[in-house]
């Protein structure tokens, strides 16, 4: 028991030791890595799981002595048993619905972070999502998002204009000074070129609408012209009712192009499981299945570009450690984050596991945060997109100097 609980902690500590090895040297190494990759273009997909995904359900700490008792009827059985969890490192497991992610772990393309949290410590979804996206320690402290600011600071890793939000509008995390666009499949034919030219003209003195329209037309042109995206529309039409499948197809369609956007963001909802959450089967299992299938589709659709891709899944906070009175879980604190992709140095769980005993829980009810999500984000942005360390501490995540980037998240 004690031996396996130490495993993830040691992994975490070794990462920390690496991080302590000097920022300057580290950033030079990172740039050298990026240069050594030559023409490979990094791709990054951020998936925002809105509603607070229960990290203890998605990545159950099967080896924790308090887990089964806290989770009661919804505690997952050990790997190998009927409807059992999928094995990770002997201590943690994956929810049985996450089959693709489990295959990715085996292929060393998935890194799991646990007991992770943004700086937000209250329990409002809406403020929690705001902090998750704005990159500051406080809700509503910024009108722009960390991913947009990172694009603006990216030195060669990603171009300033290389972000796309899949959806009609741009979520906060992607809003800001760097030009980004949004795209969603259309069901109407659209105006002819003459009408569009006249509207473009009409918007010429409107700083907002002129930029928005130009971006939208550029994204549409990319869809229309690219060989890679020919045939996307029928695919999308076929999966019509399923917004998530549409979005995944579109994200892959953009990212696999050699001169297209390098960063895509989209969100999924339905994770706010206050009642009848279910265990190996049920409400949450259904959502996780759809999420897992979407990621499998993303990988298949990206083709060879998957090797240059990282996909990060984050949620605003976790849920109560114990099941509540209505077979669900209420708003909590720490949770998990997942990093998957061909560029990921995976097959690891990175967690300084705090334990689930009543004394170890945050405010006696939630998983205690032991890893600042910004450490993950900073390590990823630095290594993958070439965002300089100094920019990460100031412009991208203001007031985060103490949150050192996790190193070695990507394949060398």
Partner 1 sequence: MQQLSSTIAANRFGLGARPGDLAAIGDDGRGWLRAQLAAAAPVLPDEGLPPSAEVLGQAFALQRQIRAERRSGSDVQQKLPQLLRPIYTAEATARFRQAVLSERPFLERLTQFWSNHFAVSIDKQYMAGLAGSFEREAIRPHVLDNFGDLLVAAETHPAMLLYLDNHLSVGPHSPAALRAGRRQRGRPLGINENLGREILELHTLGAGGGYTQADVTSFATVITGWSLGGGIGPFADGPPGRFVFRSAMHEPGAKTVLGRRYPDDGYGQGVAVLNDIAQHPATARHIAVKLARHFIADEPPPGAVERIARAFSDYGGDLRRVYRALIDSGEAWEQPLAKYKTPGDFIISAYRGLSLPADAGHGPLAPFELLGQRTWQPGSPAGWPDRSADWDGASALLKRIEWADAVGGRLGSRRDAAALAPQLLGANLSAATGTAIGRAASASQALTLLMSAPEFMRR
Residues lying near partner 1 in the complex (CB under 8 A): 50-51, 72-73, 122-127, 139, 143, 165, 167-170, 172, 175, 181-184, 186-191, 194-196, 198-199, 201-203, 205-206, 208-209, 211-213, 215-217, 219-220, 269-270, 272, 274-275, 323-328, 330-331, 363
Give the nearest distance from C-beta 396 to partner 1 in angstroms: 19
Nearer to partner 1, 107 or 196 (CB): 196
CB of 127 to partner 1, least distance (A): 5
Q: Which two tokens stand for residue 380?
A: 């990823």
Return phi, psi of residue 272, to 5°. Answer: -90, 75
- Least distance (Å) between residue 140 CB and partner 1: 9
Q: Which is nearer to partner 1, 206 or 401 (CB)?
A: 206
Residue closer to partner 1 (CB basis): 178 or 409: 178
Shortest distance in whole angstroms from residue 298 CB to partner 1: 19
CB 164 → partner 1: shortest distance, Å?
9
Residue 37 has which token pair? 């990759």
Nearer of residues 219 and 368 to partner 1, judged by Cβ: 219
CB of 14 or CB of 276, closer to partner 1: 276
Nearer to partner 1, 194 or 227 (CB): 194
State the minimum distance, in angstroms, from the CB of residue 367 to partner 1. Answer: 15
Residue labelled with tokens 């910004």: 374
Q: Mind spelling out the 3-state secondary structure of the chain?
A: CHHHHHHHHHHHHHHHHHHCCCHHHHHHHHHHHHHHCCCCCCEEEEEEECCCCCHHHHCCCCCCCCHHHHHHHHCCCCCCCCCCCEECCCCCEECCCCHHHHHHHHCCCEEEEEEEECCCCCCCHHHHHHHHHHCCCCCCCCCCCHHHHHHHHCCCCCCCCCEEEECCCCCHHHCCCCCEEEECCCCCCCCCHHHHHHHHHHCCCCHHHHHHHHHHHHHHHHHHHCHHHCCHHHHHHHCCCCHHHHHHHHHHHHHCCCCCCCEEEEEECCCCCCCCCCCCCCHHHHHHHHHHHHHHHHHHHHHHHHHHEEEEEEECCCEECCCCCCCCCCECCCEEEEEECCCECCCEEECCCCCCCCCCCECCCECCCCEEHHHHHHHHHHHHHCCCHHHHHHHHCCCCCCCCCCCCCECC
Q: Which is nearer to partner 1, 104 or 273 (CB)?
A: 273
Adjacent-strand bridge partners of 309: 43
Minimum gap (Å) between residue 322 Cβ and partner 1: 9
* Residues 76, 84 contacting (CB under 8 angstroms): yes
As measured in angstroms, the least distance from the Cβ of 397 to partner 1 is 20
Q: Which is nearer to partner 1, 248 or 343 (CB)?
A: 248
Q: How far is CA 278 from the centre of its chain?
A: 24
Residue 212 beta carbon to partner 1: minimum distance, rounded to whole angstroms: 5
Beta carbon nearer to partner 1, 219 or 314: 219
Considering beta carbons, is residue 277 or 310 the nearer one to partner 1?
277
Sign of CA dihedral 46, 48, 52, 58: negative
Our CB check for partner 1 shows the closer of 73 and 258 to be 73
| Residue 22 Cα distances to 16, 18, 28, 273, angstroms | 11, 8, 10, 42
- Write down the least CB distance from residue 276 to partner 1, Å: 9
CB 141, min distance to partner 1, A = 12
């Amino acid at each position: 028991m004690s031996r396996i609980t130490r495993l993830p902690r040691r992994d975490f500590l070794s990462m920390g030791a690496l991080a302590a090895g000097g920022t300057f040297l580290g950033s030079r190494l990172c740039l050298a890595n990026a240069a050594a990759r030559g023409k490979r273009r990094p791709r990054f997909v951020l998936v925002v799981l809105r509603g607070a995904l229960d990290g203890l359900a998605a990545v159950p700490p099967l080896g924790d002595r308090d887990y089964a008792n806290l989770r009661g009827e919804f505690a997952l059985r050990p790997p190998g048993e009927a409807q059992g969890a999928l094995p990770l490192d002997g201590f943690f497991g994956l929810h049985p619905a996450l089959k693709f992610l489990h295959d990715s772990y085996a292929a060393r393309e998935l890194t799991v972070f646990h007991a992770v949290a943004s700086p937000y410590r209250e329990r409002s979804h809406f403020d929690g999502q705001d902090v998750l996206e704005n990159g500051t320690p406080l809700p509503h402290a910024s009108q722009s998002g960390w991913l947009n600011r990172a694009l603006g600071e990216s030195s060669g890793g990603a171009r300033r204009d290389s972000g796309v939000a899949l959806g009609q509008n741009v979520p906060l995390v992607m809003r800001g000074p760097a030009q980004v666009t949004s795209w969603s499949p259309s069901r109407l034919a659209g105006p002819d070129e003459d009408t569009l030219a006249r509207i473009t003209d009409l918007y010429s003195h409107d700083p907002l609408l002129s930029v928005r329209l130009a971006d939208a037309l550029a994204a549409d042109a990319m869809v229309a012209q690219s060989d890679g995206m020919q045939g996307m529309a029928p695919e999308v039409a076929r999966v019509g009712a399923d917004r998530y499948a549409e979005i995944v197809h579109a994200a892959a369609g953009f990212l696999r192009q050699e001169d297209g956007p390098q960063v895509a963001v989209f969100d999924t909802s339905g994770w706010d499981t206050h009642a009848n959450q279910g265990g190996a089967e049920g409400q949450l299992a259904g959502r996780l299945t759809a999420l897992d299938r979407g990621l499998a589709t993303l990988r298949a659709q990206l083709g060879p570009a998957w090797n240059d891709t990282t996909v990060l899944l984050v949620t605003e906070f976790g849920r109560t450690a114990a099941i509540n009175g209505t077979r669900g879980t209420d708003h909590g604190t720490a949770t998990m984050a997942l990093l998957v992709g061909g560029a990921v140095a995976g097959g690891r769980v990175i967690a300084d596991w705090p334990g689930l005993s009543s004394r170890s829980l945050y405010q006696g009810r939630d998983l205690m945060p032991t890893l600042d999500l910004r450490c993950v984000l900073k390590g990823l942005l630095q290594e993958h997109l070439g965002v300089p360390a100094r920019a990460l501490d100031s412009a991208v995540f203001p007031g985060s100097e103490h949150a050192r980037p996790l190193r070695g998240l990507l394949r060398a």
